[in-house]
Structure 1
């Protein structure tokens, strides 16, 4: 069974930053790596699934013309809206995924620290909706903690294995550390150098 909303409501009732995303160097460094892993400098419409209090959202908003973020926790949504109040092109809505996946096509989809809260069935549904919503020349990035979480039905490794098996997209980047996995997929295998016309040049 996927983790219930009450779990997240309880976390945010005790702290506005339950994972210490603002304080921990681990989290700051992971955000930097996440942004550096994106193969395109800028995206049109981005979607962040499970935004928590908006720390990563703030950085993603700098790379997107428009950004939609969601979280299942009303408290998290309120905090993320406060964090993004200087970014009028970034919107935050309350939604429980995968059932309330938003309509439309996205140039960038980010699934960070979310997948292991879902049971295998819900994760498969999420992946299917994400794949269907990814625009031509779109990018999907996933990043997950690898260590056990008692309340979670899956591990980060299981989530990324399932993503790789079911997305049927070009695998553009794989970054593996003891603590987390970071993977990027795209609808095309175009490299960053190829995008900038560097292949075959003397540069």
Structure 2
């Protein structure tokens, strides 16, 4: 990663909300538009990778029975826990090594994948494919501006959607974009392909 857990944690210690998730109309609109891409149903078990301070987590939790939010910055996780979101729990973990066991009806990867190395990204994509439940959905969103990373939002989105599409040929992809971000929701209509 171009930025490690310590550098992100330092940002959260210095500023309670470094990206203005709680107060920015831009962020509120982005969350609403991203979540509107998902199938109009309730999800059982959801996983949010890169949950930050839990602002988007609140909206996700309203759509699922249980939510596990992961972030590798301990201060961010403390702030997410302090929100006391019903049905949600938050853990300090880095991916891919901290990927949780189980299958997920919804996996959310918002503005996180391009911070991974190429090898770590490939492993995370494999885990998404392997742990997305039959009939599940995966939401990916990314910032189009400078991120100090090697990979871009369009590149990581394309890689993830190609892997999911190859494994789950019966699917629908819905997309949205604004001048500064892109998002896509992959909704599979069935189980893994015979090769998956």
Shared fold (TM-score, shorter chain, > 0.5): yes
Q: Which residue of 1 aligns with 2:99?
A: 101
| Mean Cα deviation higher: 103-112 or 154-163 | 154-163
Correspondences of 1:169-188 after superposition (within 5 Å): 169=168, 170-188=171-189
The alignment's C-alpha RMSD in Å is 1.4
CA distance in 2, matches of 1:13, 1:147: 24
Cα offset, 1:171, TM superposition: 4.0
TM-aligned CA deviation for residue 177 of structure 1: 2.5
Q: Indicate the SS of the match to 2:95.
A: coil
Inter-partner Cα distance in structure 2 for 1:176 and 1:61: 23
Distance 2:119 2:184 in 1: 21
Q: Deviations over 1:95-116 (max 9, x none)?
A: 0011110000010000001011
Q: Are 1:157 and 2:154 an aligned pair? A: yes
TM-score, normalised to structure 1, is 0.87
Equivalent residue for 1:8? 8
> What is the CA–CA distance in structure 1 between the aligned matches of 2:114 and 2:82, rounded to whole Å?
27
- Number of equivalent positions: 186
Residue of structure 1 equivalent to 2:49 = 49
Q: Distance in 2 between matches of 1:78 and 1:176?
A: 31
Residue 167 of structure 1: how far off its partner (Å): 2.0
Q: Distance in 2 between matches of 1:68 and 1:86?
A: 11
In 2, the alpha carbon distance for the partners of 1:38 and 1:31 equals: 12
5 Å-filtered alignment, 1:1-203, equals 1-83=1-83, 85-87=84-86, 89-150=87-148, 152-168=149-165, 169=168, 170-188=171-189
What per-residue deviation string (whole Å, max 9, x for no partner) do you get for residues 55-110 of structure 1?
A: 00011111101111110011011000011x141x2111110011110000010000
Give the Å deviation of 1:188: 1.6
Is the CA contact (8 Å cut-off) linking 1:2 and 1:122 kept in structure 2? Answer: no
Q: Report runs of 4+ in structure 1 exceeding 4 Å deviation.
A: none
**C-alpha distance in 2 between matches for 1:7 and 1:158:** 24
Q: 1:54 to 1:167 in 2, by over 3 A?
A: same
Q: Which moved more, 1:63-72 or 1:4-13?
A: 4-13
Structure 2, unaligned stretches of length 5 or more? 191-196
